[in-house]
Structure 1
């Protein structure tokens, strides 16, 4: 009897894309030297698929257009920050206990499909259209013989309409987004919407939206990734809060301006905080339903 030998599996396209993005973070970190660049070149030469993933990641990074120099990316730690954060913690704790209620459950009660905080889900509708719900999101579906209508009740969703003569319309925050031949996402931000077109064209009122060059980064959440390139820490934290329970607060204003770059895994939201601690010399204090960065 012979033992079976497990053959090594080739990396998937998603794996290569993630690795290529990770390389961009390293190369633009301000600490990469000749050895890292040589290893990157060798990685690119492993196969045509590696080279293609590298080109796409380089283009994506360039499209973001916010890459900072090493000096800008270096953490601007305030010497007195550790002494000041106690008062901020007290105020933040009050806000967390009074104002935080998690994602409002009311939209889910009246929705056909919904996700919990931290959950993502892809639904195939009756006509073959696909809807991918982001964290804490909810939609309802109302198809008729004349049109296909989806109502975004809360959160964010990516829509991939199937070919059909009927218009495909998304109702969200008092607006209608029509994109029968497009791939697009809609995100509710307060009483307004953010629409990102990944493919084709979508119409919002009298405005025609075309493919966004940053669409791959802006919709990376559907692949379980968050991509930041020179984003202020306050914006990074606001985005992370969408994917986990509880509040994350920053101890002082200047710290919120710290520039952050990286590719983070949504399947392990806590790892983002750990990475911030390690890369930017931050401290995180954990309390029930609250994390404080200082």
Structure 2
């Protein structure tokens, strides 16, 4: 399965270029800088094309955000308004972009819709939804927002499921339960643990009992309030954590302590319909402390606006741009 990623640094930079290359204010120097950025990495051009497609899909609203965020530039004479539509200006950089409906089926831009593998899951929660399921072994799974779980054939070692995306709190009963997630497998009997998958990164937190995590032939044993993260590159060091912070979603709120705004927004986007995009690199690095209630997530934008002086522009479909 190809992972569904949150907004990347390349996508955020592409949005900044869309704002900067505003018809009527973009200069020759801007175009030269844009060409240089595309030439640095083919992924830059792909990100730009992807973000432009999102804007084009929003039609008139896309034009509104460009106009709202345009900064008058009197460094040089502006280019003609039709420059951005000329393929010659983009040169060969944009030719490297990934195209086609198949690509976006597995890689939704800005995670505006679920990826195809998630839609084929046996159990799935929508944005903001939670769901409780019970397996044949009576083990229970509390699924958080945007979570997809697939049932797998039981093996000699017990019951098996796959976490395709999202987060769940799992209470394993007397029969061994195995959870396959990305490159690893989590096993538990008579234990409670929280497991979260972000693309190919998986974080496991033991809440009660003992949990075993196996990734690429390396095994880590977790006790109460132990947490470990693994990915294709192996394990990160195990940590002792405050379990209440990990499971605060069950109580209806999120807690952040000195977290970059970009990370905070990525988390809020998991629970909120639409998408919040931070289109300013400096703003995305500002640190945030606070508790935000899931039932009142739109207050997050107001608090960011007041605390950091951010500009907020509203697009259809619940899309907000912070700049």
2:120 to 110, 130, 134: 110
What is the TM-score when the length of structure 1 is the normalising length?
0.63
Q: In the alignment, what sits opposite 1:234?
A: 262
Say whether 1:150 aligns with 2:161.
Answer: yes
Unmatched segments (≥5 aa) in structure 1:
1-83
1:222 to 236, 250, 259: 250
Cα deviation 1:269-290 (Å, max 9, x = unaligned) = 2222223223444332111242
CA distance in 1, matches of 2:21, 2:280: 9
Q: In the alignment, what sits opposite 1:28?
A: none
Q: In the alignment, what sits opposite 2:99?
A: none
CA distance in 1, matches of 2:198, 2:257: 21
Greater RCO, 1 or 2 (C-alpha within 8 Å, sep 6+)? 1
CA distance in 2, matches of 1:117, 1:219: 17
Q: Which moved more, 1:277-286 or 1:91-100?
A: 91-100
Q: Which moved more, 1:90-99 or 1:144-153?
A: 90-99
Q: In the alignment, what sits opposite 2:191?
A: 182
TM-align CA RMSD: 2.8
Does the aligned pair in 2 maintain the 1:85–1:251 contact within 8 Å?
A: no
Unmatched segments (≥5 aa) in structure 2:
1-15, 23-47, 57-108, 227-240
Does the aligned pair in 2 maintain the 1:103–1:117 contact within 8 Å?
A: no
CA shift at 1:244, angstroms?
2.1
Say whether 1:293 aligns with 2:322.
Answer: yes
Matches within 5 A, 1:62-141: 87=19, 94=52, 96-97=54-55, 99-100=109-110, 102-141=112-151
Q: In the alignment, what sits opposite 1:257?
A: 285
Task: Give aligned pairs, total.
Answer: 209
Cα deviation 1:214-273 (Å, max 9, x = unaligned) = 221022112221110111111101111112233322232111111111111112322222
Say whether 1:209 aligns with 2:222.
Answer: yes
CA distance in 1, matches of 2:112, 2:179: 25
